[in-house]
Chain A
Amino acid sequence: MRSPSLTRALPLVELGGLLLVALLCLLFHLRLPGRLPSEADYRAVAERLQAEAQPGDAVLLFPWWAERARIFVPASLPVYGYLGSDRDDLSAHPRIWVLGQPELPRSDEAGFLEAFLPGRRAVGAPSRHGTLTLALHENGRHRPRRFTATDAYARARVYLEQPDGTRRDCPFDGKAHRCPGPAHLYVAPEWHEILYEPRRCLWMHAPGGKQRLVAELDGVPGGLGLRLEGGIIFEHAFPRDSRLSTTHLGVDDAASGARLLSLAIPPGLEGVQKAEVRLPQGAPHTVKVWVQADNADRRQVCLDVLAVEPEVGVRG
């Protein structure tokens, strides 16, 4: 038999617990405004960035979703903040400014640093602007770029290539290389999402069937890493529908016809796929970047081809 005193005490204990929870909730609401940055805080950050940022620098947001900063950060500085950006190498950038809000509820600064810090080194002391922190880091994961297809695309020769080698040209209209056929068959650099990540990449929709959409690019320097990075954009990568077909991307050596890089993206495979090979030393190469899928439905490819140096690493 339960004791009468326990029976009487339980509701009181319960009420005490409820009141305690409510007081903690009230405390949360009272504290929350003080954990949020003001516009003046953002302006102070912007001033520091304006004064100290160098060409090639980037801003990384922590937490990744705190994008209000985009309004204030100087337009010349790219701002990164997407689901997964904590782990992004940001290899295009030698220095990274981390704009943090560690006081926000559930901000896991230790978790962020665990993902972000490897291969990087803080430069100087972080500054505080209200609840915002701004810390400069040397990016040891930086890989200097000697060639990017998105920059060189205007000089490319673009065509649709049949398996027997016959070609139909996609003439350049000043903005894009437009192919005969559907309006989506063109090659041009565009902003697209690949699994939440914003990427400026070459739009190369697979043409369908066995033919390939090819962009032939000159001047790819030898002795460097040749990287192919690409994926299916937006929501189109997600469906595993059996009627959809695997998309093949590749880079061939135009002179020898040798396959340098290739990626296969089956239906349902999301995210940026990457492949890399070291190009032999010597004269600049001409490469054929291509995309092919038997069924072109939802095979909306965006890719880039880069010639990159090894990671610079951190000093000291």
Chain B
Amino acid sequence: MMRGRAPTRDEKSLAWALWALAFAALWLTESAVGYTRDESVYFIAAEGYASWFRQLFQSPARALTDAAIVRAWDYNHEHPVLMKTLFGLSHLLFHTGLGWLRSATAFRLPAFALAALIPALSFLLGSAMYGRLAGLFAAFAFMLVPRQYFNAEMACFDVPVAAMWLLVVYCFWRALEDVRWGLWCGVAFGLTLATKHNALFLPFVLTPFALWRAYSASEGQPEARAWLGRFVGVFTAVAVFYGLLVLSLGGGEGFQRKFLLLSPHTLLFAGLAVGGAWVLKGVDKVNAPVTRALVPIAAMAVLGPVIFYLHWPYLWHQPVDRTAWYLAFHAKHNHYAWFYLNQLLREPPFPLAYVVVKTALTVPTSLFVPMVTGLAALVARMVLGAFARTRAWVERPVTMTEALVCVNAVTSILIISHPQVPHFGGVKHWFPSMVFLGILAGAAVARGCTALWERLKVKWPSLPQAAVAVPVFAVLLAPALVYSVRVFPYGTAAYSELAGGLPGAATLGMQRQFWSSHVTGVLPWINANAKRGARLFLHEVHGGSFRDYQRNGMLRSDLRAVGSPADADIVAYQYHQEFREHEFLTWQAFGTRTPVTGLYVDETPQVVVYVRPEAR
């Protein structure tokens, strides 16, 4: 049985408190976090997009021309723009307009708001499924993973899309008891599409559950079953017609070329919307639970593409070609070199176990183990419950909600585990899975706490559950907190106790760090020691990041960026296994192999600083 459940008043209050706590923590700690390569690109994009909104306000007719749109929105059109637009508007308001926040903080603020949704929604879902303890543990389990916390600080998309993914699943689940949430599910899906392309997988995850629920809810009701068949028929027919259209037009390119406002393509989409609505109206007369199961799917199918189109001005004049380019970009994404178990991975096929190993070596072990036991217990219950001989061993059968969480916990991990999928970027590409693994970890901890509490209550009947839960939470969360504090703000260097921390991971031959933001560890030294107007080569640091460090007062404004060690007075080399040549080029250019300082986190070289001897 799967049904959504509205939160109680207390749960709502706690969820808000968790949101506020996460938001405040992220805001209070963000100034130490450097600007990753991607983030500075998004800063630039966000500013450009915000300037278009100004133009829209001042000169709407001109702003709405394709030329004006392309001028403002062409930059970084490999990603949809919901988050970048929010970053830009926040910057426009809080930095440029009101002057309340420094530039970077103003950009990042919307990211904090989205990231803070994760603990709040994890709590609500976890609490509804397994009780408050599970929900609370799930909330902490996400934010106390150092790499996740680090990414939550960024004006990027990986944590926001994990939050949006969770929101879609939450809306889907709530829709099973309240049909209005089905429409919200469609809206949330559209916004998730507007956040990052991970969202494209969501319908494949949710549709089977919707059909399963509709099928089971229509059992013994032939009329409802018939309407369900029509619903599937409408969607299947549209899919088949689209397939035939592709074939008849000579493949994808022909399909794309002939995709006009008035074309069979749009007609089919309109048919889907009308047909879907007709079926839902019909089924609603005979079986409300079936309607509630199907509304989210119809809403996602119709509202998703519409919201995606509307949110992105870049698509307004040329939706088909530009969307096709966007999808093709991600289908054929570059592979960046990545160091893994003493091997430099440069191209597929990548190791199948990569995602699991990387997760095990980066998530604090005291959180990773309950995630594993939580998932294993759920899978065991599913397997044992599937056979008549073992069914009696299972105390309570697995609910559809649990199955939903389980599938979401493994989906992103399975997708990224595919050997042909790019494997760079640390762990960020499977954050949506980590949210649901956190809920399963919460389930594992909660059942232990409850069992212990029940055992102790025999002796001390008045013992409150908190007397058990508080010390258990303290012991389980303390290592993750200590580890998070220890490695902050160098999030991409975080390795768990299982890895042996950073030193252990270095010996194992794991990627030491990436994305360049750890350069903040040597900026104070550079500010204090560089001669006036010195030429600075910040290896791997994007030109935009250099500007942002100066703009935010983290790097002296008289220092000049140069593009190679040969032109530099000071080099800050980022230790990457694939970039060893760059350090040796510095030896060559400076005539020395002796660094002057560096950022060594738990002994591992992260950023190594050289000064040209004659420039000292």
Contact = CB atoms under 8 A, between A and B. Distances in A.
A1 B393 contact: yes
Interface string A2-43: 100001100110111111011111101100100111000000
Given A14-B447, A21-B369, A233 B605 contact: no
B204 to A, nearest CB: 32
B592 interface: yes
Nearest to B483: A29
Nearest to A103: B503
A190 to B, nearest CB: 5
A11 B451 contact: yes
Contacts of A101: 603
A18 B476 CA distance: 7
B455 interface: yes
A46 B587 CA distance: 21
A32 B395 CA distance: 42
A7 B479 CA distance: 29
Interface residues of A, number: 53
B497 interface: yes
Interface residues of B, number: 65
B604 interface: yes
A45 B454 CA distance: 58
Contact of B594 (A24, A75, A106, A235): A75
Contacts of A32: 486, 501, 602
A11 B446 CA distance: 9
Nearest to A15: B448
A272 B554 CA distance: 42
Nearest to B455: A12
B365 interface: yes
B587 A29 contact: no
Contact of A192 (B455, B584, B594): B584
Interface string B485-502: 010000000000101110
Contact of A63 (B499, B507, B588): B507
A68 B448 CA distance: 44
Interface in B561-615: 575, 577-578, 580-581, 583-585, 587-588, 592-598, 600, 602-605, 608
A102 B497 CA distance: 18
A105 interface: yes
A71 B595 contact: yes
A108 B509 CA distance: 13
Contacts of A234: 580-581
Given A22-B475, A32-B602, A234-B581, A14 B506 contact: no
A297 to B, nearest CB: 17
Given A14-B373, A105-B501, A68 B507 contact: no
A17 B377 CA distance: 14
Interface in B418-455: 444-445, 447-452, 454-455
A7 B482 CA distance: 34
B414 interface: no
B508 to A, nearest CB: 6
B605 A7 contact: no
A98 to B, nearest CB: 16
A273 B588 CA distance: 22
Looking at B370, B395, B507, B508, the one whose CB has the most chain A CB atoms below 10 A away is B507
Given A108-B507, A235-B337, A25 B598 contact: no
A225 B434 CA distance: 59
A12 B605 contact: no
Interface in A40-80: 63, 65-68, 70-71, 73, 75, 78-79
Contact of B581 (A7, A28, A192): A192
B587 A66 contact: no
A8 B448 CA distance: 10
Given A22-B476, A29-B497, A104 B603 contact: yes
A193 interface: yes
A198 interface: yes
Contacts of A193: 580-581, 584
B474 to A, nearest CB: 9
A79 B594 CA distance: 9
Contacts of B509: 83
B392 interface: yes
A65 B507 contact: yes
B88 interface: no
B258 interface: no
B556 to A, nearest CB: 23
Contacts of A68: 598, 600, 603, 605
B445 A190 contact: no
A82 interface: yes
B181 to A, nearest CB: 32
A172 interface: no
A238 interface: yes
B290 to A, nearest CB: 36
A114 to B, nearest CB: 15
Contacts of B346: 235, 238
B444 A2 contact: no
A310 to B, nearest CB: 29
A104 B447 CA distance: 37
A107 interface: yes
Contacts of B592: 75
Interface string A224-247: 000000000111001000000000
B593 A104 contact: no
Interface string B365-389: 1100110010001000000000000
B200 interface: no
Rank and list the top 7 A-B pairs by shortest CB-CB distance, nearest first: A15-B448, A105-B500, A25-B479, A106-B504, A11-B451, A22-B366, A105-B504
27 contacts: A11-B450, A14-B444, A14-B448, A15-B448, A15-B452, A17-B369, A18-B444, A23-B475, A24-B497, A25-B364, A26-B482, A28-B497, A29-B486, A36-B602, A67-B605, A67-B608, A70-B593, A71-B594, A105-B507, A106-B508, A191-B585, A193-B580, A193-B584, A198-B587, A233-B581, A234-B580, A238-B346
Interface of B: 337, 342, 346, 364-366, 369-370, 373, 377, 392-393, 395, 444-445, 447-452, 454-455, 472, 475-476, 478-479, 482-483, 486, 497, 499-501, 503-504, 506-509, 512, 575, 577-578, 580-581, 583-585, 587-588, 592-598, 600, 602-605, 608
Given A192-B588, A193-B584, A196-B577, 5 more contacts: A18-B448, A65-B605, A68-B600, A70-B595, A104-B500
